[in-house]
Structure 1
């Protein structure tokens, strides 16, 4: 009986020790997995963050392109000004948003319409720039013909055209996709309407990196029309 009891005690003690050992191994594995997960997350953040920042070389190409585009538009007496994300950048950063490789300008279609397409093309080609027009979107896309290194996305300047609709006394975006819509700015946000006084001459200027660019008369007011549901908070990167 005594030997049997001793044997049982030894077995219980042995089983208890093995159980504690298993618990320790499980805990150790959980700690290792947790540390590995944390390190992996830090690695991802470290490697993803730079992709949201436009390199200096690419930024300089954008400044040069934007300066040439603005100079050409001014020479052609085409009213233009910062808008959309570039206007947000001017307000928030006094330049482009850190992750934005492109620039947005708005222009008055009545000033563009006095020039035929061939004249516009020649004006930009003389400066080594390519000009493309989307009749659906009512937007010119302008880029430098000289290519950047393959690791860089080629910057563009997008010039969005607006014209006044006398039925609602508002500027609305041109383009055949919007022509079919009735002049109801509240019912059709894609018209991207804004009041004419925001584009009334003379336009003020705003710093935009090393450049000084024309801006709307009330920048925050225009942002309210561009971003009616989010204008009160800064834009966040989409990368």
Structure 2
């Protein structure tokens, strides 16, 4: 092979090596460019998500806004005070009792209040008197005879952002045949007094709500509660009482 050919091949080798180096440098530069571009997109997306946080939270049914809470507490306080004035035994129960045990207030996803009351104390008052007492406080009172519960809401509050809070008062009365408190309502009155065979009666022993009832913190309020919180929750949630209540949303 002539010296000219040798020189030519050496030149070609150098060109190939140089081209590989340039390609390698270019690939690194492009890779770094795409990395920076991707990082910028992630930062921008996080900024947009954070800036829209309150709106997203308002749309999330598992997150109750502070504004919504400000509607619940006065409503629950007024209802409890009215019941106390009328000597109606009432206490935290169901989800609100779980909230008192778990959060010392409402569950994070629960917009409503839940109380139970003794029907014999409610029945001592004329229905018209009950309606007038709540209306004087600007509250609407609705009774479901099938479920044996009152639903109470603020009659003047209006908003389109979310569902307005309500307070449900579930009525219980003692059945002398089984010496247990059972939920009222015509759907359950047709059932025989067998608490074990009919879980829908939601029976529990009267001693759990014997007067005087203790008070439990519930957010900024102090509300009557059963004597043994977990014992009542065992009757409310017989299949799941041993673990914290989970959101249904």
Give the TM-score range, shorter chain.
Answer: 0.7 to 0.9
C-alpha deviations, 1:49-83, integer Å up to 9, x for none?
84311111111110000000000000000000000
Name the CA distance, whole Å, in 2 between partners of 1:136 and 1:153: 24
Match of 1:134 in 2: 144
Name the CA distance, whole Å, in 1 between partners of 2:67 and 2:97: 22
- Within 5 Å, give how 1:7-86 maps onto structure 2: 47=56, 50-86=60-96
| Cα shift at 1:149 | 1.9
Name the CA distance, whole Å, in 1 between partners of 2:74 and 2:199: 33
Equivalent position SS for 1:51: coil
| Cα shift at 1:146 | 1.6
Match of 1:203 in 2: 213
**Coordinate RMSD, CA, aligned:** 1.8
User: Is 2:168 the counterpart of 1:165?
Assistant: no
User: Is 2:121 the counterpart of 1:111?
Assistant: yes
Name the CA distance, whole Å, in 2 between partners of 1:157 and 1:92: 19
Name the CA distance, whole Å, in 2 between partners of 1:74 and 1:127: 14
Name the CA distance, whole Å, in 2 between partners of 1:93 and 1:148: 28
Match of 1:188 in 2: 198
Q: In structure 2, list runs of 5 or more residues that go unmatched.
A: 1-44
Name the CA distance, whole Å, in 1 between partners of 2:222 and 2:209: 17
Name the CA distance, whole Å, in 2 between partners of 1:157 and 1:143: 7
Match of 1:150 in 2: 160
User: Is 2:187 the counterpart of 1:177?
Assistant: yes
Larger-Rg structure: 2
C-alpha deviations, 1:146-172, integer Å up to 9, x for none?
223201211000000000000000000
Name the CA distance, whole Å, in 2 between partners of 1:207 and 1:55: 20
| Cα shift at 1:233 | 0.3
Equivalent position SS for 1:105: strand
Name the CA distance, whole Å, in 1 between partners of 2:164 and 2:215: 26
Q: In structure 1, list runs of 5 or more residues that go unmatched.
A: 1-38
Name the CA distance, whole Å, in 1 between partners of 2:157 and 2:107: 22
C-alpha deviations, 1:180-223, integer Å up to 9, x for none?
00000000000000000001000001000000000000000000
Match of 1:20 in 2: none
